[in-house]
A and B are shown apart, each in its own frame.
Chain A
Amino acid sequence: MLNPQLNKNGELQHLLTIEGLPKAVVTHILDTASSFVGVSDRDVKKVPLMRGKSVFNLFFENSTRTRTTFEIAAKRLSADVINLNIAASSTSKGESLLDTIDNLAAMHADMFVVRHAQSGAPYLIARHLIDSGQQHVHVVNAGDGRHAHPTQGLLDMYTIRHYKKDFTNLIVAVVGDILHSRVARSDIHGLTTLGVPEVRAVGPRTLLPEGLEQMGVRVCTSMEEGLKGADVVIMLRLQNERMSGALLPSAQEFFKSYGLTPERLALAKPDAIVMHPGPMNRGVEIDSAVADGAQAVILPQVTFGIAVRMAVMSILSGSAKVF
């Protein structure tokens, strides 16, 4: 099947999801990111790769953090960045999503970074650009609904590789609200693509989606089972804003059964690392003692995230114009 993310040469043209990406493409992104890490340590935190290119941040759903990391990444590549607060602009006047895209493309956009509450919105945009002969414009998915958050998934893979070197002997536990989490889906696809032999999804039945086994994941409904012997623990944010109905009794109840405390973390390997995509709810999914503890690599994740996004943007922007 044709992968709409890849051009005829098999190069990455758009980044919509990690699912279905060849392992070589994922590895290439991680390798490239490691060269960008040093750029942010320099006095001049910029390289000229995307000089003269215009990157439009289209955030149909609010996220100051993610938008900022994309903005920093684009600026460190010397691109011009335009942030559109879509919620407060044209769509509220009734313009359709694709009309907005055509208008911005007419302003000679080179790349769209798209965050949308609807799963599949970045795919729709990429498809539209391809169908309307505007293939030279790239799309990066910055999170769509419950579907995917590929750059977060990639930065998590980068972080794991940084600390653990090899994926092929790891036990990785993804813990919490997996049902609502696009990060969990992207992480699971990344981990299985890179050859992690055991990926566990840990949470209450009500927050575990169906079909996890088919993704090659071991489902655990208790923290004891899920954390035992783990090398990596990825905590997820409890997404209260996406909850409808009685999925959980309360946040306090959740912490009692699934919060990551030092006692529970002790079940994992002694050198296990603890990750979290942020923003953290202390006392809900993670205890402060763990979040601030020696095993947490939550802030390095943020730092690596800039380099990974620089890698993605520069690889997309440099891909051959063959369609």
Chain B
Amino acid sequence: MRKPPPSFCSNILTIMPNLDFDAEALYKILAQRVKTGLAHVENVALVGIYSGGAWLAERLADELQLKDRLGFIDVSFYRDDYAEKGLHAEVKPTRIPFDVDGATVVLVDDVLYTGRTTRAAINELFDYGRPARIMLAALVDRGGRELPIAADFVADTVSLPNDRQLVLQRADDGRLSLTVDHA
């Protein structure tokens, strides 16, 4: 069997930056930043965006003692690509078990990319009431924004080409891992 020429291998390595993510370490950084940032804010609630953001929000709620102020959003009914892509295969029910009116709602997502998911989540949230303020926490900001949206709390910022995607996964024991896949 012929080996690929060495120049080919080294090319790949130079194109792809070092993308070894330690999701657990990133989570700790994010949790610390959210905790500090919300220290003097009242009437706080957390809303995780399915699926990765929901796992993060669950943990944050534990840590910040906000378990009764925790909700989840599936943005499928508010996406802007429904006309092209149709409905997601697995839509999960949105659950907002607290009063949105007057609350400071922290949206939690795993990866901030185009900003379109955040836009959809904000729209959905407003159909539950009028929050005093909406903030955004994301594990990683990978650039590539298509809307004027920025995170209030983020653990890491990287630049990734369009043909890659960052995927957060949760093992059976709850441990998080973050990998780079081909989109």
Q: Which A positions have Cβ atoms within 8 angstroms of B?
A: 11, 28, 31-32, 34-39, 42-44, 46-49, 314-315, 318-320
A42 to B95, CA, bound (A): 10
Tell whether, in the assembled complex, residue A318 and residue B86 are in contact, meaning their CB atoms are under 8 Å apart: yes
Instruction: Given A11-B86, A318-B86, A320-B86, answer yes or no on A38-B93 (Cβ-Cβ < 8 Å).
Output: yes
Tell whether, in the assembled complex, residue A314 and residue B87 are in contact, meaning their CB atoms are under 8 Å apart: yes
Given contacts A32-B87, A43-B129, A44-B128, 16 further A-B contacts (CB under 8 A): A32-B91, A35-B76, A35-B77, A37-B93, A38-B93, A38-B94, A39-B77, A42-B127, A42-B128, A47-B77, A48-B78, A314-B77, A314-B87, A315-B86, A318-B85, A320-B86
A34 to B90, CA, bound (A): 11
Residues of B within 8 A of A48 (CB): 77-78, 123
Distance in angstroms from B25 CB to nearest chain A CB is 34
Tell whether, in the assembled complex, residue A47 and residue B95 are in contact, meaning their CB atoms are under 8 Å apart: no
Residues of B within 8 A of A28 (CB): 89
A36 to B76, CA, bound (A): 11
Residues of A within 8 A of B128 (CB): 42-44
Residues of B within 8 A of A314 (CB): 77, 87
Residues of B within 8 A of A34 (CB): 93
> What number of residue pairs across chains A and B have CB atoms under 8 A from each other?
49
Residues of A within 8 A of B15 (CB): none
B82 at the interface (CB under 8 A from A): yes
Residues of B within 8 A of A35 (CB): 74, 76-77, 91-94
Q: Give 25 pairs: A residue, B residue, CB < 8 Å, sorted on A.
A: A28-B89, A31-B91, A32-B87, A35-B76, A35-B77, A35-B91, A35-B93, A37-B93, A38-B93, A38-B94, A42-B127, A42-B128, A43-B127, A43-B129, A44-B127, A46-B127, A47-B127, A48-B77, A49-B77, A49-B82, A49-B87, A314-B77, A318-B83, A318-B85, A320-B86
A35 to B77, CA, bound (A): 9
Residues of A within 8 A of B94 (CB): 35, 38
Find the B residue at minimum CB distance from A36: B77
Contact of B86 among A42, A44, A319 (CB under 8 A): A319
- Chain B residues 105-138 with CB under 8 Å of chain A are 123-124, 127-129
A32 to B83, CA, bound (A): 17
Residues of B within 8 A of A320 (CB): 86
Distance in angstroms from B124 CB to nearest chain A CB is 8
Residues of A within 8 A of B92 (CB): 35
Find the B residue at minimum CB distance from A9: B86
Give per-residue flags for B10-54: 1 if the beta carbon is below 8 A from chain A beta carbons, else 0. Answer: 000000000000000000000000000000000000000000000
Residues of B within 8 A of A319 (CB): 86
Residues of B within 8 A of A11 (CB): 86
A37 to B129, CA, bound (A): 18
A20 to B85, CA, bound (A): 25
Contact of A315 among B83, B87, B90 (CB under 8 A): B87
Find the A residue at minimum CB distance from B123: A48
A147 to B13, CA, bound (A): 63
Tell whether, in the assembled complex, residue A38 and residue B86 are in contact, meaning their CB atoms are under 8 Å apart: no
Residues of A within 8 A of B78 (CB): 47-48
- Chain B residues 53-79 with CB under 8 Å of chain A are 74, 76-78
A188 to B160, CA, bound (A): 52
Residues of B within 8 A of A38 (CB): 93-95
Residue of B87, B90, B92, B129 with most chain A CB atoms under a 10 A cut-off: B87
Residues of A within 8 A of B86 (CB): 11, 315, 318-320
Distance in angstroms from A40 CB to nearest chain B CB is 12
Residues of B within 8 A of A42 (CB): 127-128
A35 to B89, CA, bound (A): 12
Distance in angstroms from B52 CB to nearest chain A CB is 18
Residues of B within 8 A of A37 (CB): 93
Distance in angstroms from A323 CB to nearest chain B CB is 15
Residues of B within 8 A of A318 (CB): 82-83, 85-87
Find the B residue at minimum CB distance from A11: B86
